[in-house]
Structures are given as C-alpha cells and as structure tokens.
Amino acid sequence: MSGARARLGVLVSGSGSNLQALLDACAQEGFPAEVACVVSNVPTAFALERARKAGVAAVVVDHKAHASKADFEKALLETLRAANVEWVCLAGFMRLLSADFLGHYAGRVLNIHPSLLPAFPGLHAQRQALERGVKVAGCTVHFVDAGTDTGPIIAQAAVPVLPGDDEKALGARILVEEHRLYPLAVRLAVTGKVTLEGARTRVEAQATVGELALRSPGATVGQQ
Ligand code: GRF
C-alpha cells in the first residue's frame, strides 16, 4: 500500500469496542487509514482509555458543557479539524448530527448500527429485533445523513437469532460481526471503492462485496 493513510476521527460515547476494532485494523500493515483522534461526548467513556492505550489523542467534547447543539457541533468540528481528520467514523456515538455539521464532511461520515437496516433504526435495535421475532439479525455500516440510521448502506452482515436469545446474547453475536465489518467498510470507503449514488452506494470489486454481504468468519481485514 502506498500513499498517505486516510485520517479518521472516531466519535464515541461508550465502551468503544468498535473503536478497538478500528484501532486494531489501523495497526495492521497496509491498512489504508489511521485513527487521528477519538472524541467522546461522555467524559467517562471507556473508549477514551482504549484510545490512550493505543497512543491516540483522546478528547472530550461534552454536549452538556455547551449551551446549544450548534455550539457543541462547532467544538466537535474544531477538534476534528485540529487533528486534520478527513473521515469521521461514528462508533457508538449517541448524539444525532445536524445536516449543517455533516455538510462539512459531505460523504465522509460513516456509522455502524446493530441491525439489518432499514429494519430497526434508533435505540435498542437488538430488543426491537427480538420483539418482532425476526430469525435473522445483523449489523450495517452506512453513510450518515441527517436522519436516524437512514443513510446509504455500505455493507451488512447477518447472524441468526437463536431460540432463547436475550438482548445480551444477540447483541454479543452481532458485535462479533460489527468488529469484522466496520474495518472492511472503512477500507472500501477510504480507498474510493464505495461511492455515493443518491440514496444508494456503488461498491467496486465484487470479491469484496461478497465478503461484506455474507457471514464469512474467515474474512480478515488484510484480505483484498
Ligand atoms: C454498537 O452496537 C454499535 O453498532 C452501536 O452502538 C454500539 C456501540 O458499542 N451504534 P461499542 O461502544 O463500539 O462497544
């Protein structure tokens, strides 16, 4: 892999296991991105520890310390710009971003959601899936628009819903796939292999699409 690596800003609010998956991927030789900074709106988020441990700048931009959403987003933007962030990855970030904010990173904001969108957007996706009685659940990486989990879909992975599953068991099974899928989707996005086409995306390289669409535990970030 030649050329500069894309600089990611990862926005978090909680545990940061998806952040960890991105940090681990970025630590692999040849991965086309690096985490330039991690920003949390929650001062106590464990994700901040993960960033520090990886030697990555960990910044708190607490929404509660700002008088308005506009002020909060201004501070967020300044932090990302100061770290020369080119792509923004939401990883368990629990605030909705405005169209105004997104306009500053047009087509360069990604999110991971623990359902097969467009089913079950918003909070408690795993609970929604169990309540609806679906037999297949999963996760989605998508470009972010101003709606709640409505942006163009980049990649999805499916897992079975098993008899006796509760939110925790299903959530854990989905998380395994999240950690595999997010780095793959980031790789596609930053290398220009997935592009926006209105409400949908076009993904190059059919082999990679196969990897992304199907559950394939053997797939690794290093494969192209
Ligand atoms: C994940 O399930 C992600 O899909 C959702 O929030 C959760 C964050 O988990 N958006 P973590 O903080 O990455 O462990």
What are 185-199's pLDDT values in tens digits?
Answer: 999 999 999 999 999
Does residue 112's CB lie within 6 angstroms of at least one atom of ligand 1?
A: yes
What is residue 187's predicted lDDT score, i.e. its pLDDT? 97
The protein residue with its alpha carbon nearest to ligand 1, atom 10, reads 92
Q: Where are the alpha helices (DSSP H) in the chain?
A: 17-26, 46-53, 69-82, 99-104, 125-132, 167-190, 206-213
Distance 92 CA to ligand 1 centre (A): 4
In a shared domain, residues 28 and 128:
no
What does R_g of the chain's alpha carbons equal in angstroms? Answer: 17
User: Is the residue at 219 inside a domain?
Assistant: yes
Q: What is the pLDDT of residue 86?
A: 98
97 part of a folded domain: yes
Query: What is the extent of the structural domain holding 125?
Result: 114-139+154-224
User: pLDDT per residue over 82-128, tens digit each?
Assistant: 999 999 999 999 999 999 999 999 999 999 999 999 999 999 999 99
> pLDDT value at position 68?
98
**Ligand 1 atom, smallest distance to 178 CA:** 4
Let me know whether 127 and 169 are in one domain.
yes
Distance 11 CA to ligand 1 centre (A): 11
Predicted confidence at residue 211, as pLDDT, reads: 56
| CB neighbour class for 46 (10 Å; exposed up to 12, middle 13-18, buried from 19) | middle
> Does ligand 1 come within 6 angstroms of the Cβ of 121?
no
Sign of the CA dihedral 6, 12, 17, 18? negative
Domain assignment present for residue 166? The answer is yes
The verdict on the CB of residue 16 being under 6 Å from ligand 1 is yes
Taking residues 17-43, what's their average pLDDT?
98
CATH assignment of the domain containing 212: 3.40.50.170
Query: Ligand 1: which residue has its CA nearest to atom 12?
Result: 16
- Count of structural domains, the chain: 2
Residues with catalytic roles? 113
Burial, 26: exposed, middle or buried (Cβ in 10 Å; 0-12, 13-18, 19+)? buried
> What is the percentage of the chain residues whose pLDDT exceeds 90?
89
> Could you tell which of 18, 48, 88, 174 is best to mutate to test the pocket of ligand 1, judged by most ligand atoms within 8 Å of the CB?
18
Q: Are residues 18 and 122 in the same domain?
A: no
Same domain as 9, residue 87: yes
Instruction: Please return the burial class of 86, using the count of CB atoms within 10 Å of its CB with bins 0-12, 13-18 and 19+.
Output: middle
Q: Which residues contact 136 (CB under 8 A, 6 or more apart)?
A: 116, 158, 159, 160, 161
| Ligand 1 centroid from CA 142, angstroms | 14
Look up the pTM and report it.
0.92
Q: Residue 215 Cα, ligand 1 centroid: separation in angstroms?
A: 19
139-174 pLDDT, tens digit each: 999 999 999 999 999 999 999 999 999 999 999 999
- State the chain's mean pLDDT as an integer: 92
pLDDT at position 80, please?
98
pLDDT of 135 strictly over 70: yes
| Cβ atoms of 152 and 142 closer than 8 Å | yes
Residue 56 region, left (φ>0) first, then alpha (ψ -120 to 50), else beta? beta
Tell me whether residue 164 is in a domain: yes
CA angle 129, 152, 198 (to 5 degrees): 145
The amino acid occupying position 213 is A
**Ligand 1 pocket residue status of 114, Cβ below 6 Å:** yes
CA 55 to chain centre: 20
Q: Does residue 144 belong to any structural domain of this protein?
A: no
For residues 59 and 124, state if they share a domain: no
- Checking if the pLDDT of 223 tops 70, the result is no
